[in-house]
Chain A
Amino acid sequence: MSLDAAMPRATAPAILPGSGGLRGAFSDLFWRRPKLLLLLMLLPPVLWLGIVYIGSLFALLLQSFFSIDEFSGLINREFTLKTYGDLLQAANLDIILRTVTMAALVTLASAVIAFPIAYYAARYARGRWKALFYLGVMLPLWSSYLVKVYAWKLILAKEGILTWLLGKLNLLWVLDGWLSLPIVGGNSLSVSFTGTFIVFVYVWLPFMILPVQAALERVPGNLVEASSDLGASPGQTFSNVLFPLALPGIVAGSIFTFSLTLGDYIIPQIIGTSRLFIGQAVYSQQGTAGNIPLAAAFTVVPIVIMGFYLWGAKRMGAFDAL
């Protein structure tokens, strides 16, 4: 298709007249000095990202070394480590620990749910089914984030479809039993950590499926057959052949699920308990509390965690699976 589009129609002259004047001069200049053209091409995006994005990140880091005057609520623009000291209070460490635990659990659950979908799509789906699987993952990935969260608010509400379904199946006692548990339970699923967990898994699941599928596409089918020909049970084939080969993909996917959970503040606010996650702490510190330095210091936590995470992932070869 590209050639058709590139070729002029038969009626058009095969050779276009050369353009003289200023345009021609510029064209010649770029031909003689390709570096100049490269510079001109790179300048706008690099300036934009450099000033708007990197500049803002530096502004943020800078703010985390400021402190807030507790009496006046004004920001004291002098270099201090006091804000980082505040970050290490027990209540704040709790928030960090809670968020990291949630991120780890969400990552684990997404990997477990993602694997069969990715494996089926990579090994068995062909032609039309393959396209269907692809769109089947792509549409939820790109569907509106808030609508997805809203859908779960409808599902998990006390009067919602899940309670209705469990009631029809005479399984309400399971739900009640689960909700009466400490930590994971609550008044209803929409105000419990379980609810937060389900919604996180739902929203980030497509981010896990795609890289795992990409990794599994590269596993030759005869490798699996060879393994079973040599007497391995399906379980052994999975743990000795498939899983190690899929691992870079899983790690690549976990970068997204982990990072996105660390930074999210909307899901735990809408579906969850009143106990805060890092994102919510950042949001409330910068908003109602007006303590931008502490909010900035809080964001340094996910940046540092993700820094280590990416470093580890790179060592495992996860970036080749992206």
Chain B
Amino acid sequence: MRSDRGQSAPLGLKIAAACGLLFLHLPILLIFVYAFTTEEKSFVWPPPGLTTQWFAVTWNRPDVWEALSLSIRVAAISTAIALVLGTLCAAAVSQTRFFGRETISLLVILPIALPGIITGIALRSAFALADIPFSFWTIVLGHATFCVVVVYNNAVARFRRTSGSMIEASMDLGADGFQTFRHVVLPNIATALLAGGMLAFALSFDEVIVTTFTAGQQQTVPIWMLEELIRPRQRPVTNVVAMVVVLVTLLPILLAYYLTRDGDQIAGSGK
């Protein structure tokens, strides 16, 4: 019970909170303005003029399309692997108690708790030791590993809300294990899995640190952007790609939020 209903916040707190939120959002909005600037060589502000020609230029760049296609393929397959592994793990951890349960949760969380560079260099050195050449699958291997935790978190939260008596009722009514899974468990956890999958996709699509160690010469969208940041060749194209990336990651996040907003734990609070 709160007795402070209707009470408004002190002015100083309001200003500090508003400034904090502006600090978080204005830089991203700036990207949208720069995508339309006519300036090619520098980051001059205010933009000398506005144009949409860079969208056409970017559209005709094969390297951007190749990077995009690689990123989407990697994200899709990593998400699929993470969905299977994360759900299995969440089901096992939340439905039963067994020895080493805590260790399993730690194992799942570790790839994201340790700095990405450690995951990256660890995989890189393992590939070197085992003489595995870089390929599409080495990228997927890394991405799936840290995507598991996102699916796992969402699924565990949903399993916690789902009462075990529903499963028992289903069994009592004569459904076998597979039928119970198909008709009772799956409909209950479907939105949580979808949300987890969305977040995993966004995480993989955006990941750069681990990817630099596992990609070799291949370019995903973040690696393409990183190259442009270090050695800028075509700034306007980079501006447009940056804007598109913001929009592409925005949609899954909003969708994941929408799917899980009425729960006690909303998707995405842990990255």
Could you list which residues of chain A lie within 8 angstroms of chain B, going by C-beta atoms?
1-2, 5-6, 8, 15-16, 18-19, 23-24, 26-28, 30-31, 34, 37-38, 41-42, 44-46, 48-50, 52-57, 59-60, 62-63, 113-114, 116-117, 119-121, 123-124, 131, 133-155, 157, 159-161, 164, 202, 205-207, 209-210, 214, 220-222, 224-225, 234, 255, 259-260, 262-266, 269-270, 279, 282-283, 286, 292, 295-296, 299, 302-303, 306, 322
Contact = CB atoms under 8 A, between A and B. Distances in A.
Contacts of A146: 206, 208, 222, 225-226, 229, 242, 245
Given A41-B91, A123-B4, A150 B31 contact: yes
B178 A27 contact: yes
Interface in B110-133: 110-111, 113-119, 121-126, 128-130
B245 A302 contact: no
Contacts of A54: 107
A5 to B, nearest CB: 4
B242 A116 contact: no
Interface size class, chain B? 35 or more
29 contacts: A6-B187, A15-B174, A16-B174, A27-B176, A27-B179, A31-B177, A42-B104, A45-B86, A46-B89, A48-B145, A49-B108, A54-B107, A56-B125, A59-B130, A121-B17, A135-B257, A136-B24, A138-B257, A139-B25, A151-B31, A151-B242, A209-B20, A210-B270, A222-B1, A263-B116, A286-B125, A292-B124, A292-B125, A302-B114
A137 B25 CA distance: 9
Contacts of A210: 269-270
A124 B14 CA distance: 10
A210 B148 CA distance: 21
A131 B266 CA distance: 11
B192 to A, nearest CB: 11
Nearest to A29: B177
A41 B91 CA distance: 8
B88 interface: yes
Contacts of B242: 144, 146-147, 150-151
Majority secondary structure, A binding face: helix
A41 B92 contact: yes
B21 interface: yes
B27 interface: yes
A73 B256 CA distance: 49
B20 A46 contact: no
The 7 closest A-B pairs by CB, nearest first: A263-B115, A116-B16, A27-B176, A56-B122, A120-B17, A5-B187, A151-B27
Given A2-B187, A148-B27, A139 B250 contact: yes
B28 A143 contact: yes
B166 interface: yes
B44 A263 contact: no
Given A135-B257, A154-B31, 20 more contacts: A6-B188, A19-B178, A27-B176, A42-B88, A49-B85, A49-B110, A53-B107, A60-B122, A114-B20, A117-B20, A123-B9, A142-B199, A146-B242, A147-B28, A147-B31, A147-B245, A148-B28, A160-B43, A266-B226, A296-B125
